[in-house]
């Protein structure tokens, strides 16, 4: 007998598979520099969970739209995420040799190719959203949302704060500020872009962002806990990397039990943000709780 959890997992798998299918043909044609295109595909199609794409598609449906119409936005989000991981792993950043159980991009292709692959994926992300067949006003709003999540008020700003914090003792508030930009900003953009793809905005988009902000914080705290207690085989990337890089984390400051409490609290806040206008979406509530319990 199919259980509710089975049905939710199946829906997640379907949305992730739709994204994989749409990404499969990216950067496969003629290219002035074939190695650069190969490096882009290497990180883009390396078996990620597609959580951010699923968020985008799920919020499109929750806002009354068609999931398929948000597929270009979901692909753009995954391109932007792949770029951020390539650059995060570089020797001048977190200096990680492994990502998703495989050699990091700069190990597989060399540092300059990896740097350019990240740059090109970021550009391709905006191009993919802008070329969506949705009405131009919607694609413009979605692209602006994604750009804001990528820049100084998002991923780049968070990464700058994170790098500057190495070797320093931070407060919980300072760590929260880093990850509000480095992690939660893209989660918020995914949710908002899903709503925008359906023609929604205003209170609907604000509710989506509240959900995603709490989801992103819970996700990051879980990451910190996993980095502290898991191993490389389970994570698909080096464990205890934060301790190696002398970084303050939620886990190092608060301990695992308090982190677990905060994860539960932020997850409930995410669920509570699913207003009646969003249909109190059952799948999104399940997703928040599922991610709170993940083990990798």
- CATH number of 96's domain: 1.10.600.10
Task: Identify the DSSP state of 180.
Answer: I
The pLDDT value given to residue 236: 56
pLDDT in tens, 182-219: 999 999 999 999 999 999 989 999 999 999 999 999 99
CA distance 47 to 43: 9
CA distance 119 to 106: 13
Q: Provide the domain count of the chain.
A: 1
CA distance 224 to 216: 12
Tokens of 222: 């879980």
Number of alpha carbons in the 13 Å side-chain half-sphere of residue 1 = 2
Judge whether 28 and 41 are in contact, CB under 8 Å.
Answer: yes
Contacts of 289 (CB under 8 A, 6+ apart): 267, 271
- Residue 215's H or E segment, with its range, is helix 202-229
105: domain range?
4-292
- Residue 236's H or E segment, with its range, is none
Judge whether 81 and 186 are in contact, CB under 8 Å.
Answer: yes
The pLDDT value given to residue 48: 86
CA distance 210 to 60: 16
Closest C-alpha to 130, from 42, 182, 197: 197
pLDDT in tens, 66-91: 999 999 999 999 999 999 999 999 99
The pLDDT value given to residue 277: 76
pTM over 0.75: yes
The pLDDT value given to residue 232: 61
Closest C-alpha to 211, from 290, 296, 278: 278
The pLDDT value given to residue 227: 86
Instruction: Give the pLDDT of the chain (296 residues) as one tens digit per residue.
Output: 568 889 999 999 999 999 999 999 999 988 788 999 999 999 999 888 999 999 999 999 999 999 999 999 999 999 999 999 999 999 999 999 999 889 999 999 999 999 999 999 999 999 999 999 999 999 999 999 999 999 999 999 999 999 998 888 899 999 999 999 999 999 999 999 999 999 998 999 999 999 999 999 999 999 999 988 876 655 555 555 555 456 788 998 899 999 999 999 999 999 999 988 776 679 999 999 999 999 87
């Amino acid at each position: 007998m199919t259980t509710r959890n089975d049905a939710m997992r199946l829906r997640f798998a379907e949305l992730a598979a739709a994204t994989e299918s749409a990404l499969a043909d990216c950067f496969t044609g003629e290219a002035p520099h074939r190695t650069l295109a190969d490096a882009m595909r290497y990180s883009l199609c390396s078996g990620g969970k597609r959580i951010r794409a699923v968020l985008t598609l799920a919020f499109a449906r929750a806002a009354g739209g068609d999931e398929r119409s948000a597929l270009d936005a979901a692909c753009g989000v995954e391109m932007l995420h792949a770029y951020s991981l390539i650059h995060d792993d570089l020797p001048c950043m977190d200096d990680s040799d492994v990502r998703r159980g495989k050699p990091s991009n700069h190990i597989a292709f060399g540092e300059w190719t990896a740097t350019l692959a990240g740059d090109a994926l970021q550009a391709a992300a905006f191009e993919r959203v802008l070329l969506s067949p949705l009405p131009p006003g919607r694609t413009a709003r979605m692209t602006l949302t994604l750009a804001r999540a990528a820049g100084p008020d998002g991923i780049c700003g968070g990464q700058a704060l994170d790098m500057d914090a190495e070797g320093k003792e931070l407060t919980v508030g300072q760590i929260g500020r880093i990850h509000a930009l480095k992690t939660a900003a893209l989660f918020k953009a995914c949710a908002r872009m899903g709503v925008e793809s359906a023609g929604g905005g205003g209170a609907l988009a604000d509710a989506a962002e509240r959900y995603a902000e709490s989801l992103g914080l819970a996700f990051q705290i879980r990451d910190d806990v996993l980095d502290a207690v898991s191993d490389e085989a389970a994570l698909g990337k080096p464990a205890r990397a934060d301790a190696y890089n002398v970084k303050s984390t939620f886990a190092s400051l608060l301990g695992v039990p308090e982190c677990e409490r905060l994860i539960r609290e932020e997850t409930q806040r995410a669920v509570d943000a699913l207003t009646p206008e969003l249909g109190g979406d059952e799948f999104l509530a399940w997703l928040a709780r599922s991610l709170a319990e993940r083990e990798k």
